[in-house]
Amino acid sequence: MKVSKFSVRNLELYYNHFKALKGIHIEIPPNKICAFIGPSGCGKSTFLKCLNRMNDLVEGCRITGKIFLDKEDIYGNIDVNLLRRRVGMVFQKPNPFPMSIYDNIAFGPRTHGVHARAKLDDIVERSLRAAAIWDELGGRLKKSALSLSGGQQQRLCIARALAVQPEVLLMDEPTSALDPISTSCIEELTIKLRKDYTILIVTHNMQQAQRIADKTAFFFMGELIEFDDTNIIFSNPHDRRTRDYIRGEFG
């Protein structure tokens, strides 16, 4: 029996009268890295934000259709705060809070009622280790997170997302503001995290999708054109628009 982490059925999203997503159907498997590619404005980031209801914060946004997380309708009777705990997010630009490294990681657990120092210490260390940055930051936990390099800040943001033990990690172009070395670190980290998390990543970098993604979805003008194993998308896509985009004929 095929198992899906997310099951999306006939999803449509409107910004007032503009239809930004059109009839999206997709089954996203657990413990895989799925890349979303396509030209700017095609709907891939908009779709990503539907998966933890970030679009709820956008005025004039209206959604129809269904999204199921482990068979639970996330637009039904669900606690949105609990949903966002289960489905964490890392943004394009690193956004550490203006506080210490320690307090950045402890922020989410404290919000969810964890206040014992020993338990927070354990969460901070575990999260930083999971984000492969404990060796760099373990002795600097009282330092401001804003003092870190861009690559370190982004790994800190990943650690902060992991601190509440999510099931899914959404990543919206997480390396677009980083140098090649930091990008490589994030990619290696993402591959390691796959065994414990379902990871969905929006990227403009098609080489990045080829390097790290198990499956790739191509979006175009608000439609999901095709979704398949990454090697098939890049070597033998079924739709001419996918082939033309990958060849660089537009986008």
Write the burial class of residue 144 (CB in 10 Å: 0-12 exposed, 13-18 middle, 19+ buried). Answer: middle
Using CA atoms, how far residue 149 sits from 7, 38, 51, 157, in Å, is 37, 29, 29, 12
Supply the pTM of this predicted model: 0.94
β 168-172/87-90 pair status: parallel
Q: What's the pLDDT score for residue 221?
A: 96
What type of residue is 191?
A: I
Q: What is the pLDDT of residues 144-194, one digit of tens each?
A: 999 999 999 999 999 999 999 999 999 999 999 899 999 999 999 999 999
Percent of the chain exceeding pLDDT 90 equals 95
Q: What is the pLDDT of residues 182-223, one digit of tens each?
A: 999 999 999 999 999 999 999 999 999 999 999 999 999 999
| Separation between Cα atoms, residue 4 and residue 88, nearest integer Å | 18
